[in-house]
Amino acid sequence: MRMYDIIVKKREGNALSEEEIKFFIEGYTSGEIPDYQASALAMALYFQGMNGKETATLTQAMVDSGETIDLSEIEGQIVDKHSTGGVGDKVTFIVGPLVASVGVPVAKMSGRGLGHTGGTIDKLEAIAGFTTEITKEEFIDNVNKHKLAVAGQTGNLAPADKKLYALRDVTGTVNSLPLIASSIMSKKLASGADSIVLDVKTGSGAFMKTLEDSEALAREMVTIGNELGKNTVAVISDMNQPLGFEVGNANEIREAAEILLGSNVEDLRELSLEISSHMCVLAGAFADPAEARRALEENISNGKAHAKLKEFIEAQHGDGAMIDDLSQLPQASYHVEVQASKSGYVSEIDAESIGVAAMYLGAGRQTKEDKIDHSVGITLKKKIGDKVEEGEALVVLHSNTGNPEDSIAKVEEAYTISSKETKSPTLIHNIIK
């Protein structure tokens, strides 16, 4: 078999066979196929696409290129959840304990973040002592005992994806549906859960800006999951503004914990309950999402979900007192208001600019080497649809410098105030099974 023939076959719009896809992935991972041929194939794939079978084969080949995590020692049907990424997205810290509180095991592999705010691990590290550097035995033990554990992505999961993604990044071939879907799903499949709920974001602050593209990506990923034997459901949720009111690290943990204590931040609570319900149904714990939702809501009211968060934090060496008393989480020294320059209604909040403003404060990394400041962040005082008077606060910046000029400018850029009344955006656009 020759790589040249595979490139030409795809360039002409033909479907690749299983052998050809495996040949490419194995050869590229081992270094036998050079970057220039892999780039040519990526570009052919970008223009010609892949059918469902080809995409599933590509995903499996990327899974097989490295280690897979064996979670068979965990009792019960394990569920995982993955978000395609958004600003203020702290849903994991809510759904993890919530789902675990009804007895469904959640075993999560997570990463750190580059840009905007931190990733799941960075945010959890706002809690003193908390670590995701636990052994595989500890991870499995914790899931069996507490029904929830979060570990850092270790070892060599889907190395073919790592190499191919780096190549796509510099060859203009990231934005291909089958390549994105197989990239995300290969990492999820290698991390061993039985079922996966995908939170596919849509809107100005999302990877996919239009509902049509987000639905197409979701369909592609659900097909891959189901073809490869994992129950998969995708929730398409709005990212035309940050989720909830808090953006940062410690303040996102605080807002998540407050939801588990019964606070009603509408979009955040609703999305978390929706995702949790689907996780419970996929795990076979409840017959339908409505029944699951009743049990989950009950565990918020009776305090079991919040107690589970503390139990999980302590099991991973974190300071549980910070969860009992959220004011003990790291706090910044200065709290600076950014005020509205005119009266009207908030019609747009560019989530990405809010994320960048938080990064300028130190909540995220601009380079891999940057250290995160867990105490800084942004509290939104106004969201889309809210009425605002000139001089009223749009956000409060929690900063460790007195005059965070760059962040102020970025927030001013993010908000659009219009004279016309605006409705708040629909939160859940679609569920794809």
Distance in Å, CB of 85 to ligand URA, minimum: 8
Instruction: Report the candidate in 75, 69, 144 with the shortest Cα–Cα distance to residue 110.
Output: 69
Nearer to ligand URA, 174 or 409 (CB): 174
Choice among 10, 81, 82, 308 that is catalytic: 82
349 scored as a contact of ligand URA (CB under 6 A): no
Chain centroid to CA 339: 30
Would residue 82 show up in a list of annotated catalytic residues for this protein? Answer: yes
| b/e sequence 104-129, b meaning 16+ C-beta within 10 Å | bbbbbbbebbeebbbbbbbbbbbbee
Nearer to ligand URA, 174 or 396 (CB): 174
Amino acid at 50: M
Distance in Å, CB of 414 to ligand URA, minimum: 23
Would residue 187 show up in a list of annotated catalytic residues for this protein? Answer: yes
Choice among 10, 147, 187, 398 that is catalytic: 187
Q: Which residues pair with 339 in a beta bridge?
A: 393
Nearer to ligand URA, 192 or 289 (CB): 192
Distance in Å, CB of 84 to ligand URA, minimum: 7
Nearer to ligand URA, 33 or 62 (CB): 62
Judged by CB under 6 A, the residue of 7, 61, 184, 309 near ligand URA is: 184
Choice among 112, 116, 168, 410 that is catalytic: 168
Instruction: Report the candidate in 182, 229, 187 with the shortest Cα–Cα distance to residue 21.
Output: 182
180 scored as a contact of ligand URA (CB under 6 A): yes
Phi, psi of 312 (to 5 degrees): -65, -40
Distance in Å, CB of 165 to ligand URA, minimum: 5
Choice among 161, 194, 238, 267 that is catalytic: 161
Strand arrangement of the beta sheet that strand 148-152 belongs to: 148-152, 106-110, 79-83, 195-202, 231-238, 428-432
Residues 6+ apart with CB under 8 A from 415: 340, 346, 348, 349, 382, 394
Chain centroid to CA 258: 20
Stretch that binds ligand URA, among 172-180, 216-224, 245-253, 258-266 (CB under 6 A): 172-180
Stretch that binds ligand URA, among 1-9, 142-150, 178-186, 236-244 (CB under 6 A): 178-186
Supply the DSSP symbol for 328. G
| b/e sequence 64-89, b meaning 16+ C-beta within 10 Å | bbbeebebeebeebbbbbbbbbbbbb
Judged by CB under 6 A, the residue of 23, 165, 245, 415 near ligand URA is: 165
How many chain residues interact with ligand URA (CB under 6 A)? 6
Nearer to ligand URA, 184 or 346 (CB): 184
Residues 6+ apart with CB under 8 A from 30: none
Distance of alpha carbon 90 from alpha carbon 233, whole angstroms: 19
Nearer to ligand URA, 207 or 312 (CB): 207
Distance in Å, CB of 120 to ligand URA, minimum: 14
Contact 100, 106 (CB under 8 A): yes
Would residue 230 show up in a list of annotated catalytic residues for this protein? Answer: no
Would residue 278 show up in a list of annotated catalytic residues for this protein? Answer: no
Would residue 183 show up in a list of annotated catalytic residues for this protein? Answer: yes
- Encoded one letter per residue, x for contact with ligand URA by CB under 6 A and - for no contact, window 290-309 reads --------------------
Distance in Å, CB of 327 to ligand URA, minimum: 36
Judged by CB under 6 A, the residue of 29, 83, 101, 183 near ligand URA is: 183
- β-pairing verdict for 387-388 and 344-349: antiparallel
Binding site for ligand URA (CB under 6 A): 165, 174, 179-180, 183-184
Active site residues: 82, 161, 168, 183, 187
